[in-house]
A = this chain, B = another copy of it.
Amino acid sequence: MNVLVVHAHPEPKSFTAALRDQAVETLQAQGHQVRVSDLYAMNWNPVASAEDFTVRDNPEYLVYALEQRCNSKEQTLAADIQQELEKLLWADLLILNFPIYWFSTPAILKGWIDRVLVSGICYGGKRFYDQGGLRGKKALVTVTLGGREHMFGEGAIHGPLEDMLRPLLRGTLAYVGLEVLPPFVGWHVPYINDSARQQLLENYRQRLENIGEDQPMQYPRLDQFDDRLYPLA
């Protein structure tokens, strides 16, 4: 497999960075090709803007997705986007590796999503969910957070973590056609001791060694809906 790890943490010595390194080491040892986009180290620009396009379909009025469609076709996207898009299209497995900020991705990673998952290639028209442009590839979300495991789940104070991550897991990764594997979660990371952290890294190693056997999460399929996207009986 070709694996792209997109990593987003402002502290280079963070435990989240240790998870990134564990993924690289484990997957390479299994013979996979691994590339890493370390967004903080790259000084990644997360702001979607008119500057992302070297030509404009409509220079007077910016519809971002429309310009993505034109510029991706003509390969006139900004160079930083084009480079990330090539890595994404090369990958069989995308790993997003980040600390949860406000029950979602840090802004720098949200901006990777906003700018790199371009309309026309990753989705567009009726090409979404199981028909998305990245179908055939897989995605894994690897997160760290401060909360304890009992604070999440049915009836828990924050509800299921997967519900909080819905716009990412379903609305983004499944939307572009990726098979979304269950997230790998490091609970309570800022507060646990070194031995608990080592155990988490070991759990992650075992998870990654058997990643091929993971069953993807279930999301809508377009054949359950009619041409106007109303649900079929």
Contact = CB atoms under 8 A, between A and B. Distances in A.
Interface of A: 10-11, 13-14, 40, 46-50, 61-65, 101-108, 110-111, 113-114, 117, 129, 146, 148, 150-151, 155-159, 163-168, 170-172, 175, 190, 220, 224-225, 228-231
Contact of A108 (B102, B107, B170, B231): B107
A33 to B, nearest CB: 27
A229 B220 CA distance: 33
How many copies of this kind of chain does the complex include?
2
Most buried by B among A150, A151, A166: A166
Contacts of A113: 101-102, 107
A48 B157 contact: no
A112 to B, nearest CB: 8
Contacts of A10: 47-50, 62, 64
